[in-house]
Structure 1
Amino acid sequence: MKKSREGFTLAELLIVVAIIAVLVAVAIPVFGSQLEKSREAADLANVRAAYAKVLTEANMGIYNEPVTVKLKQKQYDWQSADVITIGGISHSVKDGDTENWIGIPGANGECQISFEQKKGTKFVWSGDVSSTSNSYNMSEDFFNVLKDSGCLDLVKDNSNFEFDSGTDSKTYVPKIKDLIGVNSLLQTGTWAYLGSGIDEKKRYLFWTSLDINAKGEKAIAADTEIPILIQTGDGKYYVSKSKVASRNGKYMAIADHLAPAGYLNIINAGKKYDNLSAAYSAYQDALNSDEYKNLPK
């Protein structure tokens, strides 16, 4: 009987390798996400144990001995849930800080648990903000939030609008903030939507990681030059700089220009990038350069 010694063809081997590559590409992000969630679960378990210790001591009349828990998670902010609850105290990104829950966890961070007689249990979280580059949504189109908010319908006949995150306006900004995703760059720093309600291509998103409405030591004076990341209405990205400005003494705006020509000057002075990830990386390099070393970060 004649034996067949034929093996796989090159095409068949290439197909098998391609299938394995696809499976690996799908599995690695899923594994990484689950691993981060397991770290967060461990952190929550440790913090709950520390909370039980603090509460026990409070029942014994001991109030001045906070407990600090070192965090295991590697990414900035929570990845596993929108609302976190410990000891009956709940927190969500949308609601922001409260008297009992302050800060956001991150890489190399910690949680300090304490008890005050008047305010009760207090959780103070900290972490490395630079780890956000691993958790931000780098495929985000910032203008989707603006469109979904319905704010454009209110300015559709306006040739020049400004929605700034620092303003106390109850008409526009809250509608936009309610739709900002947990992993969005817009969850941090200061942002402003500027431009035309008529022409989509003449709209701009300015963003900086700096809180230009901060008070005290981290306050930024008017006319201070800061780095900014920009997305234009036609899907292009830029890293440039602008000068912050006071708007009638009510809040600090990300740019001193109020006219479209001023926006274009800022954009044209910047450098163009192919995608958000590249622009964000360039923004970080600019922020950490000697030019901005004196900015309160």
Structure 2
Amino acid sequence: MKISRKGFTLAELLIVVAIIAVLVAVAIPVFGSQLEKSREAADLANVRAAYAKVLTEANMGIYNEPVTVKLKQKQYDWQSADVITIGGISHSVKEGDTENWIGIPGANGECQISFDQKKGTKFVWSGDGTSASNSYDMSENFFTTLEKSGCLSDANISSNSNFEIDSKASFSTFVPKIEKVLGEQSLLKNGTWAFLGNGNSDKASERYLFWTSFDTNQVGAGKTIPILIQRGDGKYYVSKSQTAERKKGNVTYVAISKHLYNKWGYEGVINAGDGKEYSSLSEAYAAYEKELEKEKYKDLLK
């Protein structure tokens, strides 16, 4: 007797493979979306727990201890809902920032929760929507960094009522000292920065850190750029500065500020200490990013 053994033809196998490929293509995005929503749910749970802690401390009269939550989500913005509500405070991207909710979450971002006696609870979100390489240490205190570098105890600074340490001054002996103590995720590892102010004064409020995401040497002199400011007493501002050319010997560079301090403040800097005050680096950085979106900065080299 003959036994007929018939297998699948090549065409039939290709059809099966094609069907499986279509099913996988449909399933993977759905799975990824659900996975991201689960990360967001975990982040919201952690933020709500931190909110409860901050509110408890506020009821005990403790107002200056913000809590930072590291986010697990991997995508920019919320995927699970158009409106997010925590502690009775709601936010949507369409409405934009408010006094109580600043920024948008993203990959490797964080949420800082704090309590202001006048404005209530604040949620400040940060994160990068494309990669983790642009995330910064938002707990950094720039003046702690300056102290660690030993620059403030140097006679050239401590006896100077009008010092300037600009990151673009390649000849400076102070810049390498500061760069040596910077953390891996320090904001000062990017853009242009400068420490300015009074070195022989006991008033921390007379010393400033200016930072911008722009490379001032590429931007050029006489340009208006946005800057983030930390004052020595821990207050933060977002302002604008006018760049200026500096020369020392054969070295020429473009400084972040037009000129040094005078009795009216820093020349070329608008509202260095009189603009809106921010309570944390996260909050100030979110405001800086918002300022950066303005059309007048689009043509500047970042």
**Could you tell me the TM-score, scaled by structure 1's length?**
0.54
Return 5+ residue gaps in structure 2 as ranges: 1-47, 54-66, 75-106, 110-127
> Is it true that 1:275 corresponds to 2:280 in the alignment?
yes
Distance 1:136 1:224, change over 3 A: same
Whether the 8 Å CA contact 2:72–2:108 is kept in 1: the answer is no
Report which of the two structures shows the higher radius of gyration computed on alpha carbons: 2
- Which residue does 1:40 correspond to in 2? none
Report what 1:294 is aligned to.
299
Aligned to 1:194: 196
Cα distance in 2 for partners of 1:158, 1:187 equals 26
- Return closer, same or farther for 1:269/1:245 CA change in 2, 3 Å cut-off: farther
Cα separation, 2, equivalents of 1:255 and 1:21: 42
> What does 1:1-297 align with in structure 2 at a 5 Å threshold?
21=49, 29=70, 32=72, 74-75=107-108, 108=130, 132=134, 135-154=135-154, 155-199=157-201, 200-213=204-217, 219-248=218-247, 250-260=252-262, 261-263=264-266, 266=270, 267-268=272-273, 270-297=275-302
C-alpha distance in structure 2 between counterparts of 1:170 and 1:251, whole Å: 12
C-alpha distance after superposition, 1:83-120 (max 9, x if no partner): xxxxxxxxxxxxxxxxxxxxxxx864xxxxxxxxxxxx
Q: Which runs of 5+ in 1 are unaligned?
A: 1-19, 36-73, 77-105, 109-127, 214-218
The count of aligned residue pairs is 184
Spell out structure 1 runs of 4+ moving beyond 4 A.
none
Q: Percent identity?
A: 49
Residues of 1 paired with 2:183 and 2:279: CA distance? 22
| Residue pair 1:241, 1:270 contacting (<8 A) in 2 also | no
Query: Using a 3 Å threshold, how does the CA distance of structure 1 residues 170 and 290 change in structure 2: closer, same or farther?
Result: closer
- Cα 1:269–1:242, aligned 2, differ >3 Å: closer, same or farther? farther
Give the partner amino acid of 2:147: K
**Structure 2: which amino acid aligns with 1:193?**
F
TM-score (norm 2): 0.54
8 Å CA contact 2:138, 2:282 repeated in 1? yes
Provide the rounded CA distance (Å) in 2 between the counterparts of 1:269 and 1:221. 27
Q: Distance in 2 between matches of 1:240 and 1:21?
A: 34
